[in-house]
Amino acid sequence: MSGKVFNMEMNIAKAIGILAIVAGHCRWDIFGGLFPSGSFHVPLFFFISGYFFKKEIIEVGNTIKNYFLYVKKQVCRWLSRFYAYHFFYGLMTLWIFLLFNKKYGALPTPDNLILQPIKEIAFTLDAPLWFIYQLVVSLIVFALIMTISKKLTKNDYAPLAVFLPMAIAAVLLANPDFTGLSSWMRVLVKTLFTPFLIYSGYLYRNKLESKIKYDTKTLIVVCIIQMILLTFFAPINMDLNHARFHHNIAMFIAPFTGIYFVLFISKQLAPFIKPGSFIDKTGRNTFHIMANHMFFAFLVELAIFAIDGRSFDLLPNGILGGKLYKLSKYKYLYTFIALYASTYSGEFFNYTGNKIKAAISQQKERCAQQTGVV
């Protein structure tokens, strides 16, 4: 398998996953309920994070040193981007309040701008970014367990003896009546469960990918398993954001039937999707889409309000939970404009960032040359 097809498959999988998230926030399901988005879309991204986890971190050289370098890299990479968006949407929340007298979450304070994001969603506009903060925490825990495990044994299956009990404990700690938990308990439950999903992606890439068949017969078996789950365990909704689970075996099956279905589609499409196409760009910009799609949905709402000639005083109090104006009528419009605009905002930020990095690099080279001449 060529590198381009290899990367394209995962880009398509990420594109499908982020479409499922955006569509879910606009109250529709991309697979029509056979594979409920809430059962697989967030687990898919933890799975993919594990898929791309570099084995060298835990196997080559000084693994303890590698681990701390890895932690530093993840914290600097993701939390810097998280807080850039978080501060921006704190300002947008204040702007909306001053302009329309609507509170989309809490108004910005030093606490919810800096300390609160790990345990609470402060601003509705960037609510989906909870995933990034949790991903950093989960990757740090995952890498620590993997590093210790590799010191004890080279068996890639051995860490399952840690990750699976952690995930079971998470389900048992979650509320069985599907109500939310207190803030720090949510963090604990998510941190117990999500490393299991990351490990699944790691194990899939390093041990299982070549053994799993992506053919019609296997797909039928997966669909039958999914229909059994829907018949006996519905509704299947892994609400990781609020750390809410039904206490049944579906929590350990439904994410993977959904992930298989997404990967099946990805593998079929990969040879036909060109690098640089919209689908490819969507897969490469999932972070920016996660951060921005609710804001762009809000802008679409403002436009529809203006076209309908309604006063902005009548704007709904919020945008999540099906509160967008005329959502049942315009759900596809909200979804695809938000997806499109977020994708190209990501392209713009990536382009600008690369230009700035190149300019800084050139400036350093010129300084070095001048120093050398002197």
Give tens-digit pLDDT for 325-368: 999 999 999 999 999 999 999 999 999 988 888 888 887 777 77
The secondary structure of 338-351 as a DSSP string is HHHHHHHHHHHHHH
**Cα–Cα dist 136/278, whole Å:** 28
Q: Is the pLDDT of residue 312 over 70?
A: yes
**Cα–Cα dist 225/84, whole Å:** 42
Query: What is the pLDDT, as a whole number, of residue 46?
Result: 98
Q: Is the pLDDT of residue 238 over 50?
A: yes
Under DSSP, the state recorded for 212 is S
> Which one, of 198, 102, 98, 208, lies nearest residue 144 by Cα?
198
**pLDDT grade, residue 164 (50/70/90)?**
very high
Query: What is the pLDDT, as a whole number, of residue 2?
Result: 41
Residue 45 burial (C-beta neighbours within 10 Å; 0-12, 13-18, 19+): buried
341 or 239: which leads in pLDDT: 341
Once rounded to an integer, what is the mean pLDDT over residues 134-140? 97
4 or 171: which leads in pLDDT: 171
Q: Is the pLDDT of residue 5 over 60?
A: no
Q: Is the pLDDT of residue 307 over 50?
A: yes
Query: What is the pLDDT, as a whole number, of residue 256?
Result: 97
Query: What is the pLDDT, as a whole number, of residue 364?
Result: 76
> Which one, of 152, 196, 166, lies nearest residue 58 by Cα?
152
Q: Which two tokens stand for residue 106?
A: 């809490």
Query: What is the pLDDT, as a whole number, of residue 371?
Result: 64
Once rounded to an integer, what is the mean pLDDT over residues 26-43? 94
Query: What is the pLDDT, as a whole number, of residue 121?
Result: 87
**pLDDT grade, residue 245 (50/70/90)?**
confident
Percent of all residues in the chain with a pLDDT value above 70, rounded to a whole number: 97
Which DSSP helix (H) or strand (E) runs through 78? none
For residues 280 and 338, the answer to whether their CB atoms sit within 8 Å is no
Tens digit of each residue's pLDDT (9 = 90 or more) over 52-94: 999 888 888 888 899 999 999 999 999 999 999 999 999 999 9
**Cα–Cα dist 268/331, whole Å:** 28
**Cα–Cα dist 277/190, whole Å:** 34
Exposed e or buried b per residue across 328-339, where buried means at least 16 C-beta atoms within 10 angstroms of its C-beta: eebbebbbebbb
Once rounded to an integer, what is the mean pLDDT over residues 228-244? 89
Query: What is the pLDDT, as a whole number, of residue 128?
Result: 95
**Cα–Cα dist 328/247, whole Å:** 31
Q: What is the domain partition of the chain in residue ranges?
A: 3-276
**Cα–Cα dist 130/282, whole Å:** 20
Once rounded to an integer, what is the mean pLDDT over residues 293-311? 96
Query: What is the pLDDT, as a whole number, of residue 223?
Result: 97
Residue 193 burial (C-beta neighbours within 10 Å; 0-12, 13-18, 19+): buried
Own/partner contacts of 328-333, CB < 8 Å, gap of 24 or more, are 328/27, 330/300, 330/304, 331/23, 331/26, 331/27, 331/28, 332/26, 332/28, 333/300
Give the bridge partners for 244, in sequence order: 239
Once rounded to an integer, what is the mean pLDDT over residues 146-159? 93
**Cα–Cα dist 229/36, whole Å:** 11
236 or 164: which leads in pLDDT: 164
Q: Is the pLDDT of residue 171 over 50?
A: yes
Please name the residues in contact with 20: beta carbons below 8 A apart, sequence gap of 6 or more: 29, 30, 31, 37, 40, 41, 44
Under DSSP, the state recorded for 60 is S
For residues 107 and 93, the answer to whether their CB atoms sit within 8 Å is yes
Q: Is the pLDDT of residue 1 over 50?
A: no
**Which amino acid, residue 302?**
L
Query: What is the pLDDT, as a whole number, of residue 369?
Result: 72
Tens digit of each residue's pLDDT (9 = 90 or more) over 91-136: 999 999 999 999 999 999 999 999 899 888 899 999 999 999 999 9
Q: Is the pLDDT of residue 177 over 80?
A: no
Q: What is the pTM of this model?
A: 0.94
> Which one, of 220, 195, 188, lies nearest residue 145 by Cα?
195
56 or 371: which leads in pLDDT: 56
Q: How many helices (H) and strands (E) does the chain have?
A: 14, 0
Q: What is the mean pLDDT of the chain?
A: 92
Query: What is the pLDDT, as a whole number, of residue 317?
Result: 87
Which DSSP helix (H) or strand (E) runs through 56? helix 56-59
Query: What is the pLDDT, as a whole number, of residue 374?
Result: 45
